A and B are shown apart, each in its own frame.
Chain A
Amino acid sequence: MSTPLLQVTKLTKRYTLPRAHLLAAPTEVQALQGLSFSLQAGRSLGVVGESGSGKSTLARLVMALESPSSGSVTLDGQDLHALDAAALRQARAGFQMVFQDPFGSLDPRQPVGRIVAEPLAAQGVLSRAEQAERVGAMLDAVGLHAADADKYPHEFSGGQRQRIAIARALVTSPRLIVADEPVSALDVSVQAQVLNLMQDLQDRLGVTYLFISHDLAVVDLVCDEVIVLYQGRVVEQGSPETLFNHAAHPYTRALMAAVPRAQPGARRRGAVAAVPWLDAPGGCPFVGRCPDRVAHCGQARPALRALDDQHGVACHVAGGSQFNHSDQENTP
């Protein structure tokens, strides 16, 4: 295999919470706990999980909007968090982001042309005229018109605004696009248009997506590989076919069971317990909600192990190979 475009290695992020009262020791929350994965150029990696699983923290770290507590993010051989401010600014041309809310992510006081040109202006390489030409080409590529550059965001519908956001992300010809829930704020029919557009752009431009979504069906459609996050750890990874047809981790199965199907009368109740059992120190983080748990799960944290070469799972019980102690380690 060639060198991956994006390499995330043992990424950890801790946030300090405010003290509960004046004399209490500040508590910490581990948003990401030693996350590692790699992504080949031109492919799409889906990240799924519930809120609080670390999806958005991962996006912010990959975008170098925040620094990790430890670990590294390497894009094209460059460790993003080791760059100085000027070098990072130049490097940003190579990775851009599409946000969830197309109403909040576009400045209402700027014309679309200025919004889309902003990443170019920040790079400061192209002249105004060259920027305008590039903006026109990008608006065209996302199915809008070059003449739309003079309009303001409020003149566009939600789906069109998300197209503008995608044009802005693509304007510097980045190799990686981090898309954080890019269609979850859109109507169903418009969501389909934007998903089709993102796939077309990938085919034409060879762009790589880190695609964050809570919607398993969307990830299944767009991605070549999927990682499932739970409390800042990868609990399962593999191709969407493997993952969604042969989900090994009980959490992945719970996520899938919760997806509403458009089949009337098919009510399924009580998929997973409501409350995560906050912290089983040293044990599996999912143990409190897990229907398959055995005594051992509360004691040793399962490491990610391969079920086959396309499919990894962090579970003692999954795949039948129970308590294979050589597979386990207590990650710090």
Chain B
Amino acid sequence: MSSTPLLDVQDLCVTLRTARGPAAALRGLSFRIERGQTLGLIGESGCGKSLTALALMGLLPDSAQVSGSMRLQGQQLVGLPEDDWCRLRGHRMAMVFQEPMTALNPLHPIGRQIAESLRLHKRLDARAARAEALRLLQQVQLPQAERRLDAYPHQLSGGQRQRVVIAMALACGPDLLIADEPTTALDVTIQREVLDLIAQLVQDLGMALLLISHDLGVMAETVQRMMVMYGGQVVESGATASVFEHLAHPYTQGLFAARPRLGLPRGHRLATIPGRVPALADLPAGCAFADRCGRATQACRQATPPLVPVADGHQARCIHLSEAAWA
């Protein structure tokens, strides 16, 4: 094995064209993932986490401007022609979407949908692809897999559909699995099972996992490293344990405090983050979080804060970190 990382993203910027002018949706994203590693992306809607997934999968709208670098085992993905993307997608990297009902085609039996990428990328004939589809359904522990090969998505429950979507993603043995809110549409008990399944498969198959979620709890239990995103930037990144221990960035603290938790007294008022996520088209100059931040000073609004080290391999984008002793 060479020392080339599986996925190396450097200074990725994405600008979208909107009715209100260009919107800097991703502003200088950098990270690496190796095989067998799990990385989480957390943030609220509009922070750029799903856009990161779309950029990695080459699924951005044609009008989007992309700069920076994304290398998959050394291969530059930025500016890749569509034909080459088609050879990568579903083969070297695959995605699990949030809503399994819309990710599946309602008009085709699930066996055929799983077989599609096998026939396309692996050139399997119909019989071999069907046999492989069955093996995959068994791998994702779909009950009565044999009988279900010819079932349609509407005949399955939400959790079962998500297993099918995972089976589709795994079909060609991808190096990188991107899961965008894979359990948000599911019940807690099913969520637990699906997350366990994904974690197990990542471990067994030696894939890299990029997990996108808005749920701190899901992050805590599933990924080794995490990045907190806000306004198209990473505002905190580090080993999951370290991020939870330090909660260095005020936004991370706000997210943590706003979570309803079991055992809070009735009538307890949850801490809220005042204001709302800024529209990407008119991000404030300086720190994107300054308008909602209790610690913001004049200096915060002048320049984008740099990433400041918090602990080993753990950084946060805040100029007030040295005052971290605040409650």
A216 to B187, CA, bound (A): 11
Asked if residues A264 and B240 are in contact (CB atoms below 8 Å), the reply is yes
A86 at the interface (CB under 8 A from B): no
| Interchain CA distance A160-B275 in the complex, whole Å | 11
Among B2-10, B21-29, B71-79, B189-197, the stretch in contact with A: B189-197
| Chain A residue at minimal CB-CB distance from B261 | A217
Instruction: Tell me if B45 and A187 are in contact (CB < 8 A).
Output: yes
Is A262 an interface residue, CB under 8 A from the partner? Answer: yes
Chain B positions within 8 Å of A256 at CB level:
262
Interchain CA distance A80-B221 in the complex, whole Å: 46
Q: Which residues of A contact B217 (CB under 8 A)?
A: 259-262
Q: Is the CB of A217 within 8 A of B189?
A: no
Interface size in chain A (residues, C-beta < 8 A): 51
Q: Which of A251-273 contact B (CB under 8 A)?
A: 254-272
Complex Cα distance A261/B271, Å? 18
- Contact indicator B269/A199 (Cβ below 8 Å): yes
Q: Are B44 and A188 in contact (CB under 8 A)?
A: yes
Q: Which of B191, B192, B218, B260 contacts A195 (CB 8 A)?
A: B260
Is A51 close to B, CB under 8 A?
yes
Given known A-B contacts A187-B44, A221-B264, A269 and B220 have beta carbons under 8 A apart = no
Verify if B18 is at the interface (C-beta below 8 Å from A). no
Contact of A192 with B by CB under 8 A: yes
Give the distance to chain B from A57, nearest Cβ to Cβ, in Å. Answer: 16
For residue B262, which residues in chain A have a CB less than 8 angstroms away from its CB? 216-217, 220, 244, 256, 259
Min CB distance A156 to B, Å, is 10
Q: Which of A39-58 contact B (CB under 8 A)?
A: 50-52
Within 8 A of B (CB), among A223-239: 223-224
Q: What is the minimal beta-carbon distance from A54 to any residue of chain B, in angstroms?
A: 13
Min Cβ gap B184→A in Å is 9
Identify which of A160, A254, A262 contacts B259 (C-beta below 8 A): A262
Interface residues of B in 212-271 (CB under 8 A from A): 214-221, 240-241, 243-244, 254-256, 258-264, 266-271
B297 contacts chain A at the CB level, 8 A cutoff: no
Q: Which residues of A lie under 8 Å from residue B189 when comparing CB positions?
A: 50, 254-255, 258, 271-272
Evaluate contact between A191 and B258: CB separation under 8 angstroms: yes
Bound CA span A199–B240, Å: 33
Partner of B220, one of A224, A257, A261, A270: A261
CB of B147 within 8 Å of the partner chain: no
* Any B CB within 8 A of the CB of A110: no
A105 at the interface (CB under 8 A from B): no
- A199 cross-chain contacts in B, Cβ below 8 A: 267, 269
- Give every chain B residue within 8 A of A223 (Cβ-Cβ): 266
Contacting A at CB under 8 A, from B139-196, are 141, 143, 157-159, 187-193, 195-196
* Bound Cα distance A181, B122 (Å): 43
- B276 lies within 8 A of chain A by Cβ: yes
Query: Closest Cβ of chain B: how far from A148's Cβ, in Å?
Result: 14
- On whether the beta carbons of A271 and B143 are closer than 8 Å, the reply is no
Task: Name the distance in Å between A302's Cβ and chain B's nearest Cβ.
Answer: 20
For A189, A254, A258, A265, the residue with the greatest tally of chain B CB atoms inside 10 Å of its CB is: A189
Shortest CB-to-CB span from A186 to chain B, Å, is: 9
Q: Does A118 contact B (CB under 8 A)?
A: no
A217 touches B259 (CB 8 A): yes
A259 to chain B, nearest CB (A): 6
Measured CA separation A93–B221 after assembly (Å): 45
* CB–CB B158/A188 < 8 A: no
Residues on B with beta carbons closer than 8 Å to the beta carbon of A191: 258, 260
Which A residues, 175 to 204, have Cβ-Cβ distances below 8 Å to chain B?
Answer: 187-193, 195-196, 199
Question: Any chain A CB within 8 A of the CB of B105?
Answer: no
Are A193 and B193 neighbours in the complex by a CB distance under 8 Å?
A: no
Out of B221, B269, B273, name the residue touching A189 (CB < 8 Å). B273
Cβ B143 vs Cβ A190 within 8 A: no
User: Does A240 interact with chain B (Cβ within 8 Å)?
Assistant: yes
Q: Does B65 contact A (CB under 8 A)?
A: no
Q: Which of A204-218 contact B (CB under 8 A)?
A: 214-218
Cβ-based interface call for B272 (8 A): yes
Q: Return the chain B residue nearest A185 by Cβ.
A: B184
Cross-chain contact A221 with B260 (CB below 8 angstroms): yes
A221→B273 contact, CB < 8 A: no
Chain B residues, Cβ within 8 Å of A270: 196
CB distance from A239 to the nearest CB of B (A): 9
Known: A196-B272, A262-B259. A240 touches B266 (CB 8 A): yes
Nearest CB on B from A58, distance (A): 16
Residue of B whose beta carbon sits closest to that of A271: B192
Report chain A residues within 8 Å CB of B277: 157, 187
Binding site for A on B (CB under 8 A): 44-45, 141, 143, 157-159, 187-193, 195-196, 199, 214-221, 240-241, 243-244, 254-256, 258-264, 266-273, 276-277
- A–B pairs, 6, beta carbons within 8 Å: A187-B44, A188-B258, A190-B276, A215-B188, A216-B262, A258-B192
Besides the known contacts A214-B188, A258-B191, A274-B141, 13 further A-B residue pairs in the complex with CB atoms under 8 A apart? A187-B44, A192-B260, A195-B260, A199-B269, A214-B187, A215-B260, A221-B264, A240-B266, A262-B217, A262-B219, A265-B241, A272-B189, A274-B159
Closest 4 CB pairs of A and B: A260-B217, A192-B270, A187-B44, A189-B273
Binding site for B on A (CB under 8 A): 50-52, 157-160, 187-193, 195-196, 199, 214-218, 220-224, 240, 244-245, 254-272, 274-275
